[in-house]
Amino acid sequence: MESRNQPTTEVVLQGNEACAKAAVFAGCRFFAGYPITPSTEIIEMLSGEMQKAGGAFIQMEDEIGSACAIIGARWGGSKAMTATSGPGYTLMQEAIGFAAVTETPIVIVNVQRGGPSTGQPTLSSQQDIYQARYGSHGDYGIIVLAPSSVQEMYDFTIRAFDLAEQFRTPVILLADEVVGHMREKILIGSGNRDIRTTRRSLAVSPSEDFFRGAHTLVEGQLHDEMGRRIGHMADRSGEFIEKITRKIEDNVDMIADVKTYCMEDADVAIVAWGSVARPSMNAIKKARGIKDDRILPKFRVVRDLVKRGVKETIRTDYSHLKVGLIKINTVWPFPEAQLRQAAENVHTVIVPEMNIGKYCREIERALPDKKVISMPKCGGNIHTPKELLDKILEEEGVNE
């Protein structure tokens, strides 16, 4: 949904492939991973592309090793990434905490599948929203981006590397099976870019790469600016935890990416993140009478007739619904102020999610004066625009 001001090429890519290509473009030169559905295309593509780009690739013995290896590589000076899904992401949690406490900039892609446990290897979900924020033990801040299209898989992967370096933190790209496996035409950058902004003032740990004579001590125990342990000192440890949380939570305005569509006159807003933003967008287009160029009108009518029956399709009138979309691209840190501002003029908010209704709790907390309706959907299917519109119809009443 966005494009960049750089020389670009048009290509058709799968979401996972776009992520892999973006990593190389963003200057990532180390990938360690372990195959797991539905993220496998990323490791497959990078097993060749990474070395062609002059970087290093290793297939590790498990996801724990993969997450640890990328942290090791980053201290060696290579921007590094791993990609996984569900169970693999759970295995990486301890290393994510280590990266948070040592302030190591790494990118971890979680192409979500249905859980818990082995769960649903081939179907989509958004069940890891809280694991992405709070998955590792202890308190820390973290940045989580949620793409909803192949273009965003590409763009957000690049941004993930930039944010990781800027804030000296692990960044999670929280994709899902739907965006991971869909194919779309996108714009990709040519050449390379390698941003290594280190706002060292944000970091409270040693941050100099290895082999530069700095005698860097990377310490998993809470530590001072020299890396020396302070875990046995309550006051200083408390300050440390506050610092590594605040460097992210206090800079939401620099991180937040909240987009709005048709919100100017909206009474009802759909608040969506990740792939669910797509049917939400289509629902809004339908209600607003905006033509979707990507689907031929005739084909769309036939498809609707087949799927929902003649009567329903013809009779349902959504044209009176003033619906808008608030799309949250940076799910963590929670963009509370940005959301509040975007939802200022609506009285009702619908929150569709492919989980039992988790992120909705945050939205309820941020919008205490609005009617917030959760629309959970578990099992692997994504919401249809019709489901969303019917829910709004329930709230707003039919056109008399």
Partner 1 sequence: MNKLYEKYIKTESLPTLFCPGCGNGIIQYAAIEAFERLGIAEDVACVSGIGCSSWIPCYYKLDVMHTMHGRALAFAEGLKLARPDKKIVVFTGDGDCVAIGGNHLLHAAARNIDLTVIMVNNYIYGMTGGQKSPTTPKGSRTKTSPFGSIDEPIDACRMVTSLGASYVARWTTAHPVQLEKAIADGITHRGFSFIEVLSQCPVQAGKNVYGEKDPSKIMENYKKQTYQFRQTGQGQTSCPGLDEQGRIPIGLLHYDPEASEYLQRVEQRLHEEGVR
Q: Which residues bind partner 1 (CB under 8 A)?
A: 29-30, 32, 51-52, 54, 56, 58, 60-62, 64-66, 68-78, 80, 94-95, 98, 210-211, 213-221, 227-229
Q: How far is the CB of 134 from partner 1 (least distance, A)?
A: 19
Nearer to partner 1, 94 or 304 (CB): 94
Task: Strand 371-376: give its sheet, edge to edge.
Answer: 258-261, 323-328, 268-272, 348-353, 371-376
Cβ–Cβ < 8 Å for 135, 325: no
Q: Match 């036939």 to its residue by tokens.
A: 302
Amino acid (1-letter code) at residue 141: G
Q: How far is the CB of 185 from partner 1 (least distance, A)?
A: 29
Nearer to partner 1, 51 or 319 (CB): 51
Cβ–Cβ < 8 Å for 310, 232: no
- Alpha-carbon Rg of the chain, whole angstroms? 22
Q: Which of 54, 12, 7, 8 is nearest to 30 (CA)?
A: 54
Nearer to partner 1, 56 or 305 (CB): 56
Q: How far is the CB of 115 from partner 1 (least distance, A)?
A: 23
Cβ–Cβ < 8 Å for 121, 37: yes
Nearer to partner 1, 144 or 218 (CB): 218
Nearer to partner 1, 2 or 62 (CB): 62
Nearer to partner 1, 221 or 399 (CB): 221
Nearer to partner 1, 74 or 286 (CB): 74
Q: How far is the CB of 136 from partner 1 (least distance, A)?
A: 11
Q: How far is the CB of 173 from partner 1 (least distance, A)?
A: 19
Cα(158)–Cα(154) distance, rounded to whole angstroms? Answer: 7
Residue 212: CB atoms within 10 A of its CB come to: 9
Q: Which two tokens stand for residue 136?
A: 């590792």
Residue 391: CB atoms within 10 A of its CB come to: 18
Q: How far is the CB of 61 from partner 1 (least distance, A)?
A: 4
Cα(6)–Cα(191) distance, rounded to whole angstroms? Answer: 10
Q: How far is the CB of 367 from partner 1 (least distance, A)?
A: 39
Cα(208)–Cα(282) distance, rounded to whole angstroms? Answer: 47
Q: How far is the CB of 242 from partner 1 (least distance, A)?
A: 22
Q: Coil, strand, or helix at residue 93?
A: helix
Nearer to partner 1, 65 or 105 (CB): 65
Cα(118)–Cα(139) distance, rounded to whole angstroms? Answer: 27
Amino acid (1-letter code) at residue 8: T
